[in-house]
Structure 1
Amino acid sequence: MADLGFTHVFRPGSHPGAPTLLLLHGTGADEYDLLELGQVLVPGAALLSPRGRVDENGANRWFRRLREGVFDVDDVIARAAELADFVRAATAAYGLDPAATAAVGFSNGANMAAATLLLHPGLLRRAALFAVAAPLQGRPIRPVDLSDVSVFVGAGVADTVTPIDQARLLADQLRECSATVQMHEHPGGHGLPPEVLNRARQWFAGAVS
């Protein structure tokens, strides 16, 4: 299998009309980490799961950071462009519907998905973002039309890695671009508790019905 610019796993869908889930792992994980999550969220969906190409002391990431919680925004922008190119190439290579790609990301992967939504409108139609932060720290958000985009955000109010204010800021930024955002705040920390997973499954079921 050609890597199309990224080491990745592709699993064809088994349900006609189901979306392709672009699975974006968190720091230190790899292209296998979210496959089971994708199967649970949308049974029968095609799964496209690349590996982040940034190495941080042996941990896979999607973009560089200057220190904990401080992103290299120039690198975020460059890496989002690389990911967008990969998605387009994979869509063509695997014969996927370009209008049916939804991102699922956790932590660093959710941040990358959010950056891709804001910087490459039209590429993703839906996104489920867990433990996410606003990725373009300190940069003005370019006005783009995301009126056909739906986003689910799951965030923990006790998250010490990604403060809840970051998820709220991202939700506001997406809404300012006319995206439809469903935000679910949970009392936990930097994780994906069962209640949030169930809410996201229900959200996807409504989005694809």
Structure 2
Amino acid sequence: MGKHFNFALMAGLFLAVAAIGPASARGTDDCAVKSSPGKATIVTDDDVDPRPDTDNIQSADACAPKKIKTAPQPTGKAVPINVLATGGVSILNKAVKGEIIPQSEGALRDDLSFRYRIYRPQAANGDTMVLLHGSGQDETSLVSFASKIAPNAVLLAVRGRVVQDGSTRWYRRLTPVSFDQQDIRSEATAFAEFLRQATAKYRFDANRMTFLGYSNGANLINSVMMLYPGLVKQAVLLRSMPVLTGSVDADLAHARVLTVSGAADQLYAPYAPALEDMLRSHGARVEARSIKSDHGLGKDDVRVVSEWLSGATAQLRK
């Protein structure tokens, strides 16, 4: 009886994988910009970020979206593992290999003011990485990227609360580069409180916490830094720009920041120097990098961030 049960379970798991397809079959597509002589070459890597920071309004995006191929959905009887509940195909693959992440760790939680997921590696080292996705994405979007650059860190993946024109965001926008200031401040306040609650609930070490944000999510992080100095001690801001207006008095002397802009990112790259100047003028230690890419993420981002973390995180632990 036991052999038949085990065989049936494994058969069900492999059928689930066959129905869903490999992780690369998901909607994976970076922003594509035609290169021309004298312009930066675009670097894309489908295995890093599942889709660009985009939503349903093409004219207001940092880059125009492509058509996204979606994996065929399983038909017939329910499969043994609920992919949506466990966080994606990558976790299903772990289940097949016998490396199942606990269901309670992968499930979407709504017991705090923001919805979130927690991913714990098998060999956690005491570091925590807080993930803030881009516009039109969700809390799972940066998990693959983060697991590459910090494989031993606990991942706290958070979902933005604002839904504008059908897309999930961290605050409302007015134009592609101007934003609702009241909404930024209110959501930054809510996120700061969420972070305090999550840190206490899960006993995260605030001194070993790194914030990883992409585009819209990175913009909220730099806003939280300005409005609640001391809360963010280490941050990686990918394709970011300053979004707060007006004068803000913030002491960021204890903050380390890496900014990574894409040379061919026609909308956000021009604002990268202003972001760096803003952070430095308030005392933050900023390393600014520009890579051959557009608004999408790729292998160069993984390399640059990994190199920076290897030195910066060591200092953070002291």
Please identify which structure carries the higher helix content. 2
> 1:83-162 residue pairs with structure 2 within 5 A?
83-136=191-244, 138-140=245-247, 142-162=248-268
1:16 maps to amino acid: N
Partners of 1:204 and 1:100 in 2: CA distance: 12
Partners of 2:282 and 2:195 in 1: CA distance: 22
Partners of 1:154 and 1:191 in 2: CA distance: 11
Is this contact kept in 1: 2:138–2:168, CA < 8 A? yes
C-alpha root-mean-square deviation of aligned residues, in Å? 1.4
- Give secondary structure in 2 for the equivalent of 1:167: helix
2:257 maps to amino acid: V
Partners of 1:130 and 1:3 in 2: CA distance: 28
2:124 maps to amino acid: H
Provide the identity percentage.
35
Deviations 1:13-59 (A, max 9, x none): 53324x21110000111111111111111111011111000001211
Deviations 1:117-145 (A, max 9, x none): 11111111110011101121x322x2322
> 1:20-99 residue pairs with structure 2 within 5 A?
20-99=128-207
- Give secondary structure in 1 for the equivalent of 2:207: coil
- Structure 2 residue 272 is the aligned partner of structure 1 residue 167: yes
Give TM-score, length-normalised by structure 2. Answer: 0.62
2:261 maps to amino acid: A
Structure 2 unaligned blocks of 5 or more: 1-108
TM-superposed CA distance for 1:75, in Å, is: 0.9
TM-superposed CA distance for 1:208, in Å, is: 1.8
Is this contact kept in 2: 1:101–1:123, CA < 8 A? no
Give TM-score, length-normalised by structure 1. Answer: 0.93
TM-superposed CA distance for 1:2, in Å, is: 4.7
- Give secondary structure in 1 for the equivalent of 2:131: strand
- Structure 2 residue 3 is the aligned partner of structure 1 residue 3: no
Partners of 2:254 and 2:113 in 1: CA distance: 28
Is this contact kept in 2: 1:99–1:124, CA < 8 A? no
Partners of 2:250 and 2:292 in 1: CA distance: 32
1:41 maps to amino acid: I
- Structure 2 residue 121 is the aligned partner of structure 1 residue 16: no
Partners of 2:228 and 2:176 in 1: CA distance: 26
Is this contact kept in 2: 1:6–1:86, CA < 8 A? yes
Is this contact kept in 1: 2:129–2:153, CA < 8 A? yes
Please identify which structure carries the higher strand content. 1
1:31 maps to amino acid: E
